[in-house]
Structure 1
Amino acid sequence: MFGRHHHRGSGHGRFAVRGGRHFGPFTVEFDMGEGPRRGGGRRRFDGDELRLILLKLIAEAPRHGYDLIREIEARTGGAYAPSPGVVYPTLTLLDEMGLIAQQASEGAKKLFAVTAEGEALLAAQAEQVEALMARLADLSDARARGEGGPVRRAMHNLKAAVIGRVAQGAEIETLHAITDILDDAARRIERL
């Protein structure tokens, strides 16, 4: 079943979201916290880092999820845009932790502002937050030099979409369909 584990050791606000689901003969486990990706690569930002980035951007001005995605994409020169499947659950977690709070807004979009607890966490993590914001700028510089690109962004979005769909409680037929789509995409890429 799903579980949220908040790790707040030493007052540094460390936490991770872990979970798993059983689907007939399949068991799907996922971790949206820290950790290396398969193949020895590293996530662009781990779960804790993305939470701090979102919190910092919300502290600059109240924002909604789509605005946060566009702001990160703009600050990285288009090199990185977190998927909605990562941003919205992270906003829910930040809200549940009392680091942000929903404000009245026009329309259906939820507008969030930082709370006093969120400001305190940002102050306690100021050095790390500054380094993370510098990394966003570095991604923009790297993109301008031709490094990185849309393939990594697309792979990140694919991973988030699969994890998000499986986490919603997919039936066995849906899991087989997802597997077929992924296998077909791999075959098509190999033939390029």
Structure 2
Amino acid sequence: MRHGTSRHGCGERHAMQRMMREAMRHGMGRGGRGFGYGFGGRHGRGDDDGRGRRRRMFDSGELRLVLLKLIADEPRHGYDLIRRIEELTGGAYAPSPGVIYPTLTLLGDMGLIEAADSGGAKKLFAITDAGQAELDANQDAVEALIERLTEVGEERQRTDSASVRRAMGNLRAVLMNRLGDRDLDEATLHAVVALIDEAAQKIERL
């Protein structure tokens, strides 16, 4: 035991070290990511359901409307639709071909889209009159869906930059190394906590 340090104080210091290490592991995650909604914790190839599992960005009915809207903008093939959705979300989400192509088949069976003359190997899809009527009848829902995708892209652009990830990774590495120091005294530990709190407050006020 270090001179002048009570067992109670030593126990409290070790408890604080453990708590901070756990916060670093679960708060930042691997590679310095995962500080809540804005730092990659929610958006990837889908939304997290809160238990580490992904759920779809939207349900099948919503996906049909999104595809109809994009095809109404201009005739598109399957890969182009995937790429366009990925562009809207800034790379945060891209539906798989296993989702896109069955949905396109369904839209065709419903008479909402039809094959267009592409002049190439890839099959283009164009909207039909029935498809346009479906879009018009769901205009508010379509606008909300496109806005949702755009917001995901804007948030990705704001929070998922390489410099932010690098800085967070550096902070995590330094803290994990310092918290693992057996000679870390309570005063230094409190100083570390104060610095983190101060940085968080300054960022919040930006």
Q: Please, what TM-score do these two structures have when normalized by structure 2?
A: 0.51
**Pairs within 5 Å for 1:1-192:** 39=51, 42-146=55-159
Paired residue for 2:199?
A: none
| Cα contact 1:37–1:43 (8 A) shared by 2 | no
**Do the aligned partners of 1:62 and 1:111 also contact (CA within 8 Å) in 2?**
yes
Larger strand percent: 1
Aligned-residue CA RMSD (Å) = 2.0
Query: Alignment identity in percent?
Result: 61
CA distance in 1, matches of 2:137, 2:58: 19
C-alpha distance in 1 between matches for 2:87 and 2:54: 24
What is the deviation of 1:43? 2.3
Deviation at 1:109, TM superposition (A): 1.1
- Cα pair distance change 1:102/1:37, threshold 3 Å: farther
How far 1:49 sits from its partner (Å)?
0.8
SS in 1 for 2:159: coil
TM-score normalised per structure 1: 0.54
Q: Which runs of 4+ in 1 moved over 4 A?
A: 36-42
CA deviations over 1:142-178 (Å, ceiling 9, x no partner):
211336xxxxxxxxxxxxxxxxxxxxxxxxxxxxxxx
Q: Residues 115-152 of structure 1: CA distance to partner in whole angstroms, max 9, x if unpaired?
A: 000000000000000000100111101211336xxxxx
If each structure's helix is expressed as a fraction of its own residues, which one has the higher value? 2
SS state at 1:77 partner: coil
Q: Which residue of 2 aligns with 1:168?
A: none
Instruction: In structure 2, give the amino acid aligned to 1:119.
Output: Q
